Structure 1
Amino acid sequence: MPTALRLLPALSPDHRARLMSLAREVSFPADGKIFEAGGTADRFWVVRSGTVSLHQRVVGERRISVATLGPGDLLGWSWLFPPHHWDFGAEAFSPVRAYEFDAAEVRTLCDQDPALELSLTRTIAAILAHRLETTRAALIEHYARHGGGGVR
């Protein structure tokens, strides 16, 4: 993903410092579930190292990977938009180290600093637009390869 679509470099140094003041370092083991679609989105992460697979359930219980995230990538955006439930699931593909942010704390910080909120929202919107296009392409490719999986 181009640097312009990464959260931290897109923020001004002051906004980045304010956001990072809320960060805590966390890790996830390989194959560890980070969150499931439908769960409460009360935090988000910026991946420092490792790889995360985003997945979506399709036809029954089948699950397909729709994106792979790596160092510098934003993991989780559902915390920003009500009803604050995850739209995808996420799993650590390899051991992952990340900065974790509590959503309520970040929303409070944004309430106190409208310029930060605007910058954060615009950057996340750009990331979402890119992810939407790659997800759409992954789903089209999946269904083209597998003949629609019996869906009519």
Structure 2
Amino acid sequence: MKKLLLLPVLVFVLSGLVSAQTNAIDFKHSFGVNTKINPDQMEYYVPIWLNEKTIVSPFLAVQFNRNFETDNSSIGLGLKRYLIQPRTAAPFVNFDTGYSYNLNQGFVGLGFGGDYFISKQFSIGAELNTRYTFRDVGTRLGVGIDNFMVLPGISFGIHF
């Protein structure tokens, strides 16, 4: 059900890409704050703009259970590369890697999506990520299992 709710957002963002706006936004950002909402977790990013098309982002992810209690937390590093110079809307590909504390699992992921820049400082986006998790077999607490998942998400960003 949640995946079906994210589909219209993804269609909206991708339709903005097709319209190909011509007014480029002057990107002179250095960092920002971004929140991504997935079906069962929230991720908090600090995007650092390396250039007009590339962002590196340390992040903290918090996963919730059915009672909205914290079930797991992760830290990681993400890399986002826009396929075109960001204008009003821009598609991107991303890569992330990190470690989940409570489950003693590492993860790597690839994804794609689009960001819609409402103004120079605000953006919304939609993306679809694949993530592979692997257990930490080097510790006796490595209780997790290897897993492959697909995570749709929507994001809200503020850029400085």
Is the TM value for this pair above 0.5?
no
Of Structure 1 and Structure 2, the greater helix share is in 1
TM-score by length of 2: 0.26
Of Structure 1 and Structure 2, the greater strand share is in 2
Structure number with greater CO (CA < 8 Å, separation at least 6) is: 1
TM-score by length of 1: 0.27
